[in-house]
């Protein structure tokens, strides 16, 4: 069923250690996403504040990404990675103490979510930028996809654990466990010995931070295709990603009348879908049209949101969650692979900041989702966001020049848009 090179990246010792660190850190994240959402609902009952928590977590992606990319390119990836883990441990640890003394308030949850988001920015950049230094280029696609499974597979067990803790324990133990997981991830990070990485003194530090940011932006504008990847990814992040943290808790608890533990159980189903999709991507011998694949994932995600909104039973919701989450995370994998494979070596992290900028649009989607829920209810909000996704996919597929760009492959890079539009369907 699989390409023999599917799991080739696991042959590298540093990749195995990085995967373990990602797995443990993502276990903490899986607990955090469930616990934080349910906690703010129980503290305030406000959909707007629920969206504000997610927005605060994603705000650093927009505000810090350009500078974070330069920092990651200038300093050893391992140190940046460990620092990100310790930042997340501090964020969850403070909330752990506040819950013990029964002093947790909504503004504190929002502020600590922002701190956790800062750690997440550097974690994502350093983890992805490190991959070309620990695996051969021929195994980069396998490493990119399998690295994603380190995040998605743990959503299964982590979200199930969150559901069980919500049923039999309280939030205090969840945030304490998150802190322990982040500290363990930092220990794994210290064991990484990335080959081919320059020491801080060997890096090019003559160029100013602003100069490096300008160079990265100029590369993206001149090359053009990174901007297209940014636009497609932003659509997914803005209108698909927020369903998991903002809308699902309200659908499960308010609309379906289920116990809050089902928020965790459904997140585990989504993690299963994301993991299956990541392994499938790793098994492909090639991705001939990654741009078209990303548009297809947007459309599939839109259909899944419609199913969640109109589903009459929890089992149907679970199937739709499986595909919606698979689309979210595999969109990230395809976009990251395209950026890593073609970005210049000296600006890998800066190229990846494009994805962080796109990911930052989640805060816009979270605010929109919260406002739609307060005005029209969770089901109508899901339909509205699904309509945006399907509309974007339809616009892309119905515009000749965009279709030409989507179908372009390396073999036909000299084909102009005008020639493609004049060609017949059989020639295309």
In angstroms, the CA 54 to CA 8 distance is 36
Task: Flag whether 418 is in a domain.
Answer: no
Q: What is the DSSP string of 301-348?
A: HHHHHHHHHH-SSHHHHHHHHHHHHHHHHHHHHHHHHHHHHHS-GGGH
Task: Flag whether 425 is in a domain.
Answer: no
Task: Flag whether 53 is in a domain.
Answer: yes
Task: Flag whether 163 is in a domain.
Answer: yes
**Coarse DSSP helix, strand, coil percentages of the chain, rounded to the nearest 5 percent:** 85, 0, 15
Q: What is the DSSP string of 101-115?
A: TT---HHHHHHHHHH
Which helix (H) or strand (E) is 390 found in, with range?
Answer: helix 378-398
**Structural domain total, the chain:** 1
Chunked into runs of 10 residues, the chain (428 residues) has average pLDDT values of 67 88 84 78 75 78 74 82 92 87 82 88 84 80 75 66 71 83 91 60 47 62 69 81 70 68 75 80 72 84 87 81 85 75 64 67 76 80 88 78 55 50 58
Name the residue range of residue 304's domain. Answer: 12-194+212-413
In angstroms, the CA 365 to CA 371 distance is 10
Report angle CA 165, 180, 143 to the nearest 5 degrees.
100
Of 155, 394, 397, 393, give the one whose Cα is nearest residue 276.
155
What pLDDT, on a 0 to 100 scale, did the predictor assign at position 83? 92
List all residues 6 or more positions away from 143 whose beta carbon is below 8 Å from its beta carbon: 9, 12, 15, 131, 134, 135
CA dihedral angle for residue 198, residue 204, residue 205, residue 208, rounded to 10 degrees:
-140
Of 34, 77, 358, give the one whose Cα is nearest residue 165.
34
Task: Flag whether 349 is in a domain.
Answer: yes
CATH number of residue 240's parent domain: 1.20.1250.20
What pLDDT, on a 0 to 100 scale, did the predictor assign at position 427? 57
Cβ atoms within 10 A of the Cβ of 404, count? 19
Task: Flag whether 204 is in a domain.
Answer: no
Of 192, 164, 209, 149, give the one whose Cα is nearest residue 26.
149
For the chain, the first-to-last Cα distance in angstroms comes to: 30
The structure's pTM equals 0.62
CB-CB contact of 326 with 276 (8 Å): yes
Report angle CA 246, 247, 253 to the nearest 5 degrees.
110
CB-CB contact of 155 with 270 (8 Å): yes
What pLDDT, on a 0 to 100 scale, did the predictor assign at position 4? 61
Task: Flag whether 253 is in a domain.
Answer: yes
Write out 180-229 in H/E/C secondary structure.
HHHHHHHHHHHCCCCCCCCCHHHCCCCCCHHHHHHHHHHHHHHHCHHHHH
Task: Flag whether 243 is in a domain.
Answer: yes
CB-CB contact of 288 with 190 (8 Å): no
């Amino acid at each position: 069923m699989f390409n023999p090179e599917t799991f080739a990246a696991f042959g590298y010792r540093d990749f195995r250690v990085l995967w373990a660190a990602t797995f443990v850190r993502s276990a903490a994240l899986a607990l955090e996403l469930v616990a934080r959402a349910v906690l703010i609902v129980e503290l305030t009952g406000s959909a707007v504040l629920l969206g504000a928590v997610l927005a605060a977590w994603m705000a650093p992606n927009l505000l810090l990404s350009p500078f974070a990319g330069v920092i990651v390119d200038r300093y050893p990836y391992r140190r940046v990675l460990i620092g990100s883990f310790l930042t997340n441990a501090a964020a969850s640890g403070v909330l752990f103490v506040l819950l013990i003394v029964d002093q947790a308030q909504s503004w504190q949850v929002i502020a600590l979510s922002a701190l956790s988001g800062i750690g997440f920015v550097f974690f994502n950049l350093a983890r992805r930028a490190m991959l070309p230094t620990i695996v051969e280029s021929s195994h980069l696609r396998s490493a990119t996809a399998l690295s994603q499974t380190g995040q998605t597979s743990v959503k299964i067990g982590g979200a199930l654990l969150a559901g069980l803790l919500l049923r039999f324990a309280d939030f205090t133990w969840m945030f304490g466990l998150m802190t322990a997981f982040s500290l363990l991830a930092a220990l794994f990070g210290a064991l990484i010995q990335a080959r081919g990485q320059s020491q801080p003194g060997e890096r090019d530090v003559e160029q100013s931070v602003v100069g490096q940011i300008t160079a990265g932006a100029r590369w993206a504008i001149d090359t053009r295709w990174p901007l297209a990847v940014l636009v497609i990814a932003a659509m997914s992040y803005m209108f698909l990603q927020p369903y998991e943290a903002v809308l699902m808790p309200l659908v499960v608890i308010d609309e379906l009348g289920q116990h809050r533990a089902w928020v965790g159980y459904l997140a585990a189903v989504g993690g299963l879908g994301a993991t299956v999709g990541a392994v499938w991507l790793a098994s492909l011998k090639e991705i001939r049209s990654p741009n078209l694949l990303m548009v297809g994932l947007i459309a599939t995600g839109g259909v899944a949101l419609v199913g969640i909104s109109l589903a009459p039973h929890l089992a149907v919701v679970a199937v739709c969650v499986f595909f919606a989450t698979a689309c979210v995370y595999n969109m990230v994998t395809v976009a990251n692979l395209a950026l890593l494979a073609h970005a210049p070596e000296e600006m890998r992290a800066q190229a990846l900041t494009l994805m962080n900028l796109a990911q930052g649009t989640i805060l816009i989607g979270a605010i929109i989702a919260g406002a739609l829920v307060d005005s029209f209810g969770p089901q109508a909000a899901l339909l509205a966001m699904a309509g945006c996704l399907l509309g974007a996919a339809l616009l892309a597929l119905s515009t000749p020049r965009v279709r030409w760009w989507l179908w372009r492959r390396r073999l036909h890079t000299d084909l102009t848009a005008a020639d493609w539009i004049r060609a017949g369907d059989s020639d295309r």
